[in-house]
Amino acid sequence: MKTTIFIAIIALVLFISCNSETRNEVVVEDHAEHESEGVVSLNWRQREALNLKLDSFMMRNLTTVVKTNGQMKVPPSGSADITAIIGGNVKEIKVFHGDKVSKGQVLAILEHPDYITLQEEFSDLSIRLEYLEKEYNRQKELFENNVGAGRDYQKIKSEYNSAKAKYEGLKARLKLINISTDNVEEGIITNYVSIISPLDGYVNEVNINVGRYVDASDKLFKVTDISTIHADFMIYEKDVHLIKEGQKVDFTVSNRPGEELIASVFAIGKEFEENTRSVHIHAELQGETSGLIPGMYISGHIHTDEKYTRTLPNDAIVTEGIKSYIFILDNEIEEHDEHDHNSEGGEEEDHSAENENHDGGDNQNMTFRMIEIIPGQIEGAYTEVHLIDSLPDDTKIVMNAAYYLLSDLKKEETEHEH
């Protein structure tokens, strides 16, 4: 009888102990589920597949803006239509469309008998002018000493001045076609002329071929200095009164997707386009201008006042029902998980080390927590954000793929329910 009672007591103690452990497991499991509410974890492969981007809040001017479109342009001084000045036949072309050229660089060579004739005339006139100058000085001296006749002095003076004017004219013409007058006076005659670039830039047009005769009015090349490129926007009549010099313009171009450029208004047109009732405004670019080409279509926003606010890209914000959320990197959970892993021993610790060696330390999960926010004004690809609970300034926020994180979170919640 005593043995039976003893066995019953032991069985009762074991039953109570098992129930206690079960309750503890349930409590721990409930606590874990409570901790993971609104939290999603991604490994490095998932982050790489999503091209996940993390950044902090952006301060932007989203108060009063004027939407505008336009084109990239260069000022008149940054573009040159190059002609022959004097007609000739194309002997050689030294550049190709798109080539970068420097000021003074030879673009093409022309040849024609007229170039020789022009140099011969200049050479003859140079020799004759030398004689006339000496004769003029001699007659002048005689006239001033009342020895020579005034008529002879006036005649030689007229001939000398006429020859001198013609000499200077021919000299200027030779310089225009890049022929050295010093060489001509020394008897060195050339049968060709060089067409040179008047500025640094890129060759945008080549309108000639070898052997073709080109006239003085024909456009042979077009060279554009794209370092002087600026943004040319069109502002409609209703918005003109809002625009002032010095205002900032945020704009985008088609060949830089996802990148926003900045310019500053430096000139405002004073007359309207007849068809569109719009005014041209010109804005100087800030920062890197590589890859920008004249004629490229641009779209932007002109900020007419200066009041900055906290913003995020539209892709960083998700909506569920009537509420909006963002995902932030949860450092507390990351540190907690790291502490838990470090406190584990035996096989678990060895297994973690094995994973680290296999993936080079990149296989760590990153944990993101969903927090509610109140969205404000939307401008293009950015939305104003009002926080319900304050966050540190250095909080890392998911800038894209927020909807993927939300769907992954919903998937995990559904699996827990089942």
Residue 328 sits in a domain whose CATH number is 2.40.420.20
Read off the pLDDT of each residue in 111-124 and give the average, rounded to a whole number.
90
Read off the pLDDT of each residue in 377-399 and give the average, rounded to a whole number.
86
Q: Quick check: 341 pLDDT over 60?
A: no
Most confident of 51-65, 186-200, 351-365, 367-381: 186-200
Q: Domain tally for the chain?
A: 3
Do 284 and 332 sit in the same domain of this protein? no
Give 158-172 pLDDT, tens digit per residue. 888 888 899 899 999
Confidence label for 376 from pLDDT (cuts 50, 70 and 90) = confident
Confidence label for 413 from pLDDT (cuts 50, 70 and 90) = low
Do 43 and 140 sit in the same domain of this protein? no
Domain-terminating residue out of 191, 224, 257:
224
Whether 28 is covered by a domain: the verdict is no
Do 52 and 118 sit in the same domain of this protein? no
Do 193 and 291 sit in the same domain of this protein? no
User: Across the chain, what does the average pLDDT equal?
Assistant: 80
Position 148 scores a pLDDT of 60
Confidence label for 111 from pLDDT (cuts 50, 70 and 90) = very high
Neighbouring-strand partners of residue 72: 231
Confidence label for 138 from pLDDT (cuts 50, 70 and 90) = confident
Between 3 and 399, name the one with better pLDDT: 399
Between 351 and 100, name the one with better pLDDT: 100
Contact assessment for residue 398 and residue 386, using Cβ atoms and an 8 Å cutoff: no
Whether 164 is covered by a domain: the verdict is yes
Confidence label for 412 from pLDDT (cuts 50, 70 and 90) = low
Position 151 scores a pLDDT of 77
Do 258 and 375 sit in the same domain of this protein? no
Neighbouring-strand partners of residue 272: none
Position 225 scores a pLDDT of 92
Distances (CA, A) of 322 to 249, 374, 397, 413: 33, 10, 21, 20
Do 90 and 103 sit in the same domain of this protein? yes
Whether 398 is covered by a domain: the verdict is yes
Separation of alpha carbons 293 and 96, rounded Å: 18
Read off the pLDDT of each residue in 114-132 and give the average, rounded to a whole number.
89
Between 35 and 249, name the one with better pLDDT: 249
Whether 2 is covered by a domain: the verdict is no
Classify residue 78 by its DSSP letter: G
Q: Quick check: 11 pLDDT over 50?
A: no
Separation of alpha carbons 303 and 314, rounded Å: 19
Whether 25 is covered by a domain: the verdict is no
Position 40 scores a pLDDT of 86
And the tokens for 188? 């060195």
Domain-terminating residue out of 160, 189, 224:
224
Q: What's the CATH code of the domain at 244?
A: 2.40.30.170
Between 241 and 63, name the one with better pLDDT: 241
Rounded to 5°, angle at Cα 384 from 379 and 386: 165
Do 261 and 171 sit in the same domain of this protein? no
Distances (CA, A) of 243 to 114, 186, 209, 228, 235: 56, 62, 48, 23, 9
Q: Quick check: 10 pLDDT over 80?
A: no
Do 46 and 99 sit in the same domain of this protein? no
Read off the pLDDT of each residue in 314-338 and give the average, rounded to a whole number.
76
Position 89 scores a pLDDT of 93
Q: Quick check: 231 pLDDT over 90?
A: yes
Position 18 scores a pLDDT of 47
Q: Quick check: 48 pLDDT over 80?
A: yes
Do 113 and 214 sit in the same domain of this protein? yes
In the chain, what are the helix, strand and coil shares in percent, each to the nearest 5?
A: 40, 30, 30
N residues, the chain: 418
Please report, rounded to a whole number, the percentage of residues in the chain having pLDDT higher than 70. 79
Q: Which residue segment(s) compose the domain that 333 sits in?
A: 37-58+310-349+358-417
Position 36 scores a pLDDT of 53
Q: Quick check: 327 pLDDT over 80?
A: yes
Between 145 and 7, name the one with better pLDDT: 145
Between 24 and 62, name the one with better pLDDT: 62
Do 220 and 236 sit in the same domain of this protein? no
Do 199 and 244 sit in the same domain of this protein? no
Give 154-207 pLDDT, tens digit per residue. 888 888 888 889 989 999 989 988 898 889 888 889 888 999 999 999 999 999
Give 32-42 pLDDT, tens digit per residue. 343 456 788 88
Position 13 scores a pLDDT of 43
Separation of alpha carbons 360 and 311, rounded Å: 35
Residue 375 CB: number of other CB atoms within 10 A?
Answer: 16
- Interacting residues of 348 by C-beta distance below 8 A, sequence separation 6+: 341
Confidence label for 64 from pLDDT (cuts 50, 70 and 90) = low
Do 233 and 177 sit in the same domain of this protein? no
Please tell me whether residue 313 adopts helix, strand or coil conformation: strand
Position 214 scores a pLDDT of 92
